[in-house]
Amino acid sequence: MHRLACASIAFLACAPGAFAHEAAPPGETAALHAIGTAPSPARIEADIRKLVSFGTRHTLSDTTSPTRGIGAARRWIRDEFERISRDCGGCLEVRDVRGMISGEERIPDPTEVVSILAIQRGTADPDRYVIMSGDIDSRVSDVMDSTSDSPGANDNASGIAGTLEAARVLSKRRFPATIVYAALSGEEQGLYGGRMVAELARKEGWRIEAVLNNDMIGNIAGLNGVVDNTTARVFSEGTRFNETEREATVRRYTGGEVDSPSRNLARYIDAMARHVPNLDVMMVYRLDRFGRGGHHRPFNDAGYPAVRVMETNEHYDRQHQTLRTEAGRVYGDTIHGVDFAYAAKLTALNAVALAGMAGAPPPPAGVEIEGAVSADTTLSWQRPPPAQAPNLAGYKVYWRLTTEPTWTHSRYVGNVERHTLENVVIDNYFFGVAAVAKDGSESPVVFPGAAGSFGGY
Question: What b/e string do you get for 203-234 counting C-beta neighbours within 10 Å, with b at 16 or more?
Answer: eeebbbbbbbbbbbbbbbbeeeeeeebebbbb
Pairwise CA distance, residues 219 & 152, whole Å: 12
CB of 107 to Zn ion, least distance (A): 16
- Give whichever of 188 and 259 is closer to Zn ion, judged by the CB atom: 188
Which residues does 398 contact at the CB level (< 8 Å), separation at least 6?
Answer: 407, 409, 410, 431, 432, 433, 434, 445
Within 133-192, the residues that bind Zn ion by CB under 5 A are: 155
- Give whichever of 28 and 155 is closer to Zn ion, judged by the CB atom: 155
- Contact between 136 and 184 under an 8 Å Cβ cutoff? The reply is yes
Maximum Cα–Cα distance for the chain, whole Å?
71
CB of 115 to Zn ion, least distance (A): 16
- Contact between 118 and 85 under an 8 Å Cβ cutoff? The reply is yes
- Contact between 61 and 145 under an 8 Å Cβ cutoff? The reply is no
**How far is residue 301 from each of residues 240, 298, 401, measured CA to CA in Å?**
8, 5, 29
CB of 118 to Zn ion, least distance (A): 23
CB of 152 to Zn ion, least distance (A): 8
* β-pairing verdict for 306-311 and 207-214: parallel
- Give whichever of 157 and 379 is closer to Zn ion, judged by the CB atom: 157
- Contact between 339 and 165 under an 8 Å Cβ cutoff? The reply is no
CB of 293 to Zn ion, least distance (A): 9
- Please state the separation of Cα 447 from the chain's center in Å: 18
Query: Total binding residues for Zn ion by CB under 5 A?
Result: 1
| Residue 311 binds to Zn ion (criterion: CB under 5 A) | no
CB of 346 to Zn ion, least distance (A): 16
- Give whichever of 146 and 377 is closer to Zn ion, judged by the CB atom: 146
- Give whichever of 48 and 352 is closer to Zn ion, judged by the CB atom: 48
- Give whichever of 322 and 380 is closer to Zn ion, judged by the CB atom: 322
Q: Which residues bind Zn ion (CB under 5 A)?
A: 155
